[in-house]
Amino acid sequence: MNTIEIQNLSKVYPDGTKALNNVSFNVKPGEAVVLLGHNGSGKSTLFRCITSFEKPTEGQIKIDGVNITKLSKGKLRPIRKKVGMVFQHFNLINNLSVFQNVLSGAMGKVRFAFQTFAPLASKELRREAMECLERVGLSDLAKRRADQLSGGQQQRVAIARMLMQNPQVVLADEPIASLDPKAGREVMDLLWEIVRERGLTVVCILHQMDIAKEYGDRIVALKSGKVVIDDHIHDLNDELMASLYEKEMVEEEDKENIMAAVKVGGM
């Protein structure tokens, strides 16, 4: 299964900001959907709703047919186990080893958290963690502290940690936004190789349109909290795509003009 169904989702924050407005789209098993939109369009709010860090005001999110919006923490746990996450800032534990970070991905598989602590973890889990590290090409660095790796390497460790979870669904929030273009591409290639070989369902927030077109099966784009594009990669309308970031470009120009005026004014 591994479907994600978003139905009529709206989110109004307590201060009245309407971040999502009747958002609906489905992600089929094994499909990779890239979520695009300019700053403030609602991508992170949607991501936080899908990952249950935020409760929507209205609507449903179904993962594998289960509506997660109304579930208690206990009932959410088995669903969360199926969902692997990759974040912009890697979210590793910096002062622990690469190996320990990967092992911590097995948290959902054990009864007590201490069973993922390297000296106490089972032989089987330790072997799995090494295999995950091998898959991302970092087994040589298993003993290194996480904060002594490059950004690209840290993101690969985060991917290995996610693999340790055996997820069926991957949610990635700007996974390459903190990386230089070369490292970013390497991480996208690796992540996509892995999700394709395992047939995982993906929702990935990206900012770069060219990368989105290259990797996604479908693009869903938000503008002011509404879905304005939901098209297969081969059916994209270039004009509509270009209009997505118009506001951002105008805002950037406005900022530059203001800065220039401030300089001329000698402030």
Out of 1, 8, 24, 39, the residue judged to bind ligand ATP by CB under 6 A: 39
Out of 21, 41, 97, 201, the residue judged to bind ligand ATP by CB under 6 A: 41
16 Cβ contact list (under 8 Å, min separation 6)? none
Q: Which stretch binds ligand ATP (CB under 6 A): 42-50, 61-69, 182-190, 210-218?
A: 42-50
Interaction between residue 21 and ligand ATP (CB under 6 A): no
Q: Which stretch binds ligand ATP (CB under 6 A): 25-33, 43-51, 103-111, 143-151?
A: 43-51
Q: Smaller CB distance to ligand ATP: residue 19 or 169? A: 19
Q: Smaller CB distance to ligand ATP: residue 44 or 100? A: 44
100 Cβ contact list (under 8 Å, min separation 6)? 93, 117, 118
Interaction between residue 175 and ligand ATP (CB under 6 A): no
- Residues 46-75 touching ligand ATP, rule: CB under 6 A, are none
Out of 26, 28, 29, 40, the residue judged to bind ligand ATP by CB under 6 A: 40
Binding site for ligand ATP (CB under 6 A): 13, 15, 17, 19, 37, 39-45
